[in-house]
Structures are given as structure tokens and as C-alpha cells.
């Protein structure tokens, strides 16, 4: 699929980070946009910024944890643009950096509702129409942690949620091969990216508050490869869509950790 004028892309988590960069990259190609985020104010700022590229833009304040909220946004986008060609299920958060046994149930629930169910809700809301016409592309943002969890630990809810996104994406590819093979799927597995994910607590809902929340969120960690810009991730994502890549590991050198993990698994297999 060529990413060009005449298409419409939907992006969750569009108010900052990778989502904001994706919006700008799509607008630069003349692609109309449905932008979704739980932060309404910053979302509207992104809407105004990308609209300067001369493309149609609709922003809808959306809580990806809630299926009805995502479905309503999808309906608004379809009413405005007629169809959605690309859905980027990108919204994500990270919780406290703590040993697994100290993670609170509120942390597990919040991260899985956003990181995993946000992807599931996006698929449910946007993919049926793609299947019906056998065209479109789905981008699900996972993490390099889905393929090679950090050896220092401390992020079990996040790693588990992103591993689930990887599994969902691969299963979606298999299902589409049987029912709508022309619909593309890309699972984006970034390493460290310049974004506001370290400030995820700003979006934690009151019903999942965690009294006495530990402040150790995403400490500075040597991943063994460089942090990259959200703009670099967005540019590579558009290339992945155009080339039909199932997997995208945008950080140079991140594949080495994946290879090492595969080697370790095979070394200990029967």
C-alpha cells in the first residue's frame, strides 16, 4: 500500500510521542487523519499543527480502554472521511519500575487495559470494514520488550502487555491471511524513543489510582543501542506499511538482543 493523498489514517495516542510523529508523517504525505487520545487539550494542538499541511483532520478525545469510546471515534471518522485505510493502535503507558511482586493490581489492570485492550478495541472497531473491502493496513505498537524483555527486570506489567500485543498481531496476520489477505499488519517494536512515556502517570484514571505510587518509572537504562526520535520511528513505520513488513524494529542494534534470546531458548530446548 502506498501511503499517499487519498487515504485516511487513524492514530491512537496521537497527542504525543510516536503518535504525534505518525500524525505529522501521514499529513506530510497528504493523508487525511482521525486522531485519538485521552488528553483532549494536547490532542487539539496536534490537530491544529497537522492541519497546516492542508489535509482533513478530525480529533476525537478517546479512552482506548473503553470499547464504546473507540467505536464512537471510528464512527465519527467514517462519517467524516467515508473510510479508514490505516489504523495505528499506538496508545501506550508504562507503570512504576518495581519488582514484580511489588506491582499493584491497579498497575496490572491499567497497563493491560491501555496497552493490550486498546489494541484489541482498535482492531474490533476498524478492521471489519477493511476485511469487507479486503484493503487497508493495521499497525500495532508493541515494544522490543515483547521480543527481548529487559534483563534488569522491573517492568513486568509493561513487558507482559507488549508481549500480548505481539501475539495478537501475529494471530491477526494469520486470520487475515484466511479472510482478507490484502489487509496488511505491522507490529512495531521500538526500543527507547524520545517521548513522554516516562510521564505516563499523568493519564492514569482516578479509578486505578495507586496511593503512595513509587516514582521509579523508566529509569535511565543502558539498552546497548541508541535512543531514537519519534520522527524516526514514524518514518520507518510508513516504510513498513508500504513494504508490507510484519515486524518493525526501528532502533539500530535492537535485533541483536532478539537473536541472543532466540539462541538462549534454542540452547535450552529439548
Please work out, in degrees rounded to the nearest 5, the angle formed at the alpha carbon of residue 32 by the alpha carbons of 28 and 38. Answer: 100
**How far is residue 190's CA from residue 18's CA, in Å, rounded to a whole number?**
10
**How far is residue 168's CA from residue 146's CA, in Å, rounded to a whole number?**
12
Catalytic residue among 81, 97, 110, 158: 158
Answer for the pair 19, 12: CB distance below 8 angstroms, yes or no. yes
- The answer to whether 158 is a known catalytic residue is yes
The residues annotated with a catalytic role in the active site are 158
Amino acid at each position: 500500500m502506498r501511503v499517499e493523498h487519498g487515504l485516511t489514517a487513524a492514530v491512537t495516542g496521537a497527542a504525543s510521542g510516536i503518535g504525534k510523529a505518525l500524525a505529522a508523517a501521514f499529513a506530510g504525505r497528504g493523508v487525511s487523519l482521525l486522531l485519538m487520545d485521552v488528553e483532549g487539550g494536547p490532542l487539539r494542538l496536534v490537530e491544529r499543527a497537522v492541519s497546516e499541511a492542508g489535509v482533513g483532520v478530525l480529533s476525537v478525545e478517546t479512552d482506548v480502554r473503553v470499547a464504546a469510546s473507540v467505536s464512537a471515534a471510528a464512527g465519527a471518522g467514517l462519517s467524516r472521511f467515508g473510510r479508514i485505510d490505516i489504523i495505528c493502535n499506538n496508545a501506550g503507558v508504562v507503570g512504576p519500575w518495581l519488582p514484580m511482586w511489588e506491582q499493584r493490581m491497579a498497575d496490572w489492570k491499567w497497563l493491560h487495559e491501555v496497552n493490550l485492550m486498546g489494541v484489541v478495541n482498535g482492531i474490533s472497531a476498524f478492521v471489519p470494514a477493511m476485511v469487507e473491502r479486503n484493503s487497508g493496513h493495521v499497525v500495532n505498537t508493541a515494544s522490543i520488550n515483547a521480543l527481548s524483555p529487559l534483563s534488569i527486570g522491573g517492568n513486568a506489567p509493561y513487558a507482559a502487555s507488549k508481549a500480548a500485543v505481539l501475539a495478537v498481531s501475529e494471530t491477526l496476520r494469520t486470520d487475515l491471511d484466511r479472510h482478507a489477505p490484502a489487509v496488511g499488519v505491522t507490529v512495531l517494536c521500538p526500543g527507547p524513543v524520545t517521548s513522554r512515556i516516562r510521564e505516563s502517570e499523568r493519564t492514569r484514571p482516578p479509578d486505578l489510582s495507586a496511593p503512595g505510587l513509587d516514582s521509579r518509572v523508566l529509569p535511565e537504562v543502558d539498552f546497548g543501542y541508541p535512543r531514537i526520535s519519534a520522527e524516526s520511528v514514524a518514518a520507518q513505520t510508513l516504510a513498513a506499511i508500504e513494504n508490507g513488513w510484519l515486524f518493525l524494529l526501528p532502533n539500530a542494534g535492537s535485533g541483536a538482543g532478539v537473536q541472543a534470546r532466540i539462541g538462549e531458548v534454542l540452547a535450552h530446548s529439548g
